Amino acid sequence: MNKLLLIFYYGFASYIPMQPMPGYKFGYMIRRVIVKKLLAYCGEQVVIKNNCYFGNGSRLSVGDRSQLGQNSRLNGNISIGKDVMMGPDVVMMATSHAFEDTTIPMNRQGEAVEQSIEIGNDVWVGTRAIIMPGVTLGSGCIVGAGAIVTKSFPNNSVIGGNPARLIRTR
């Protein structure tokens, strides 16, 4: 059943228009129905924008009223809290490549140990932000557009830059 849902999601449902195009409510509803059956957890009123990629969804949890942004790519064990806003083209990668052994080409070393990503409640992740393995963002954080988040930040942090740094506290 999951294989059929994945084929339907990636082959059709992920392309249904989003707001403000006509039919966007239908697209949101169809994607939500499918994703509820695929994700490890999917809360109420979750919005999945078009072209969102999350693999088979078995390691992704999304809280109530959160949004997965257009063209976002979520890979690995990721937990997203309630009321999270996500801009387009966001990347969250809980996985990476191994590279420690310089006698073996990196493309032959396989994956590094996965490090989970945790996003708190009421977080805003800006357009094209990248969140790297092992990052935890506390509740109330704001991640600026284009930020590359390589370390964790506490509640109510406003962060941005490459690598992301604390700009101020809310």
Q: Cβ distance 3 to 14 under 8 Å?
A: no
Give the phi and the psi of residue 116 in degrees, each rounded to 5: -60, 150
User: For residues 69-93, b (16+ Cβ closer than 10 Å) or e, as one string?
Assistant: bbbbbbbbbbbbbbbbebbbbbbbb
**Is the separation of the CB atoms in 128 and 114 below 8 Å?**
no
* Active site members: 97
Q: Say how many residues make up the chain.
A: 170
Tokens of 95: 């996985």
35 backbone dihedrals φ, ψ, rounded to 5°: -65, -35
Cα–chain center distance at 99: 24
Q: The tokens 């169809």 sit on which residue? A: 30
Q: Are 9 and 38 spatial neighbours (Cβ–Cβ below 8 Å)?
A: yes
